[in-house]
Amino acid sequence: MKGNREEKKLLLYTYIFCLLCFTNLSILNWPKERFDKTAIIVALVVCGLITYAHFIIRKFFPDGDKYIQIFACILTVIGLVVLYRIKPMEAVKQVVWFVVGITLFIIIVVVLPDLKRFSKWKWGYLIITIALMSMGTLLGKTKSGAKNWIFIGGYGFQPSEFAKLSLVVYLAAALEKYEKSKDLIVPAIAVMVSLGFMVLQRDLGSALIFFGMSVTMLYIATSKVKYVGACFGLFAVGSVISYKLFSHVRVRFLIWRDVWSYATGKGYQIVQSMIAIASGGLFGTGLGLGHPEFIPVNTTDFIFAVLCEEMGGLMGFAVIILYFLLFYRCMRAAVYTDNKFSALVAVGYSAMIASQVLVIIGGVTNLIPLTGITLPLISYGGSSMLTTFIALGVLQKISEEATNVE
């Protein structure tokens, strides 16, 4: 009962935050411009979706971890608020992706059978992974410097986003029955091939995510520190080779070392991001009172900078804490399940989300070389929204199979 009360409080705070922010946006330019009814409609639709999803999960599947869905929805609300502030039409499109994503989340929990049944199809997962990874290299179009976009009928998606999902399931199936080092040969080749495709596509952000989740799953499956050390050694060698072979890698490394020397050129994006974060201070300039127009790629790669400028550094820290709490609840599903395959899938998807957050926030604050990826659930992007909610749906299902997850 205590857990149920806490969930209701958290949902109530989410509704209040959503309605207050969108009401603020609706009267932002009033009385010079008309009252923006669309902002209120978006807020009501989002609150309705969150309520419906929580009702279904709580009423018909009461044994799992309900905070996974709640934390994911809070982050989505924050993203929609910032997106509507920057580009209202993209926020409306993102609501559509949110509808599809939360629908897939519910369908996975309702329809998907016991997850342990899926461990026998590891070769199928490997084929799907290689096929998706090769699509970007062979058929992809270049966008923002990376050749990882496939366009069909005017709509684009990133195959590597969905390849992350299949790679995690393959690695879970392959590592489930680990006994000797020779059992790691094929999984290692699969990961190296995937990373190779990422390098060819100049998608360094996805390469870091693939590496992060693969190493995490390897350690959980084997408990061997020497394997993790070997992986980092190989990754270091690969990084040096990439630095020597690819000019864009050298440029990003040089920008990271001395961003101010490239402030008006290649480092312009990061400099503007850092200025925006600094100008926001702890409490921000206020929603609608910042200058996101000065920040390039502000709805995707650099949305965290916009958030910090207008809502403040404290909100930036709050977002990081929310991601940590989401990661924590996802990892609880891995801890409590009694099936190794399900546990490894949960670890992989949790590490996937955490790696993506660390890589993009580290990039926009210049803690690590910048890599162009989206901030899960907050940045604009259909592929990212769908893959994240699919992963969270599987994690929710695993938590339903486990016990004592309150």
Contacts of 175 (CB under 8 A, 6+ apart): 183, 184, 187, 217, 218, 221, 222, 344
Q: Is residue 84 part of a domain?
A: no
Q: How far apart are CA 353 and CA 170, in angstroms?
A: 17
Question: Average pLDDT of 371-387?
Answer: 88
Alpha carbon distance, N-terminus to C-terminus of the chain: 10
Is position 145 within any domain? Answer: yes
Task: Confirm whether 376 is domain-assigned.
Answer: yes
Three-state SS at 1: coil
Task: Please check whether residue 218 lies inside any domain of the structure.
Answer: yes
Q: Is residue 204 predicted with pLDDT exceeding 90?
A: no
8 Å CB contact between 75 and 377? yes
The dihedral region occupied by 153, where left means phi > 0, alpha psi between -120 and 50, and beta the remainder, is left
pLDDT band at 396 (very low <50, low <70, confident <90, very high): very high
Q: Are 76 and 381 in contact (CB under 8 A)?
A: no
Report phi then psi at 152, rounded to 5.
Answer: -130, 115
Q: What is the CA radius of gyration of the chain?
A: 21
Task: For the chain, count helices (H), then strands (E).
Answer: 15, 3
Give domain status of residue 31, yes or no: no
- CA triplet 235, 146, 172: central angle to 5 degrees? 50
> What is the per-residue pLDDT across 261-320, written as a single tens digit (0 to 9) for each?
888 888 888 899 999 999 999 999 988 888 998 888 888 889 999 999 999 999 999 999
In angstroms, rounded to a whole number, what is the distance separating the alpha carbons of residues 186 and 168? 14
What confidence category does residue 404 fall into, taking pLDDT thresholds of 50, 70 and 90?
very low
Question: According to the model, what pLDDT value does residue 405 have?
Answer: 44
As a dihedral over the C-alpha atoms of residue 173, residue 175, residue 176, residue 180, rounded to 10 degrees, the angle is: 140
Domain range holding 277? Answer: 117-401
- The answer as to whether 73 is a domain residue is no
pLDDT at 370: 77
Half-sphere exposure of 159 (CA within 13 A, CB side): 24
Say how far apart CA 248 and CA 122 lie, in whole Å.
Answer: 35
How many whole angstroms from its chain centre is CA 123? Answer: 26
Tell me how many domains the chain contains.
Answer: 1
- Report the alpha-carbon distance of residue 364 to residue 359 in Å, rounded: 9
| Angle at the Cα of 132 from the Cα atoms of 193 and 369, rounded to 5 degrees | 60
Q: In what order do the strands lie in the sheet containing 141-143? A: 141-143, 146-152, 155-157
Two tokens, residue 235 = 């990754």
Residue 252 DSSP code: H
Cβ 77 vs Cβ 18: under 8 Å: yes
Residue 4 belongs to some domain of the structure: no
Q: Percent helix, strand, coil in the chain (nearest 5)?
A: 75, 5, 20
Nearest to residue 199, comparing CAs of 148, 255, 132?
Answer: 148
149: β partners: 141
- The H-or-E segment that residue 141 falls in is strand 141-143
pLDDT for the residue numbered 218: 92
Q: What is the pLDDT of residues 252-263, one digit of tens each?
A: 888 888 888 888
Of 1-5, 89-93, 365-369, which gets the smallest average pLDDT? Answer: 1-5
Confidence band, pLDDT 50/70/90 cuts, at residue 140: low
30 in any annotated domain: no
**16-58: per-residue pLDDT in tens?**
999 999 999 988 866 666 788 999 999 999 999 999 998 888 8
What are residue 156's DSSP bridge partners? Answer: 151
Of the candidates 48, 51, 32, the one whose C-alpha atom is nearest the C-alpha of residue 40 is: 48
307 and 316 in contact (C-beta within 8 Å)? yes
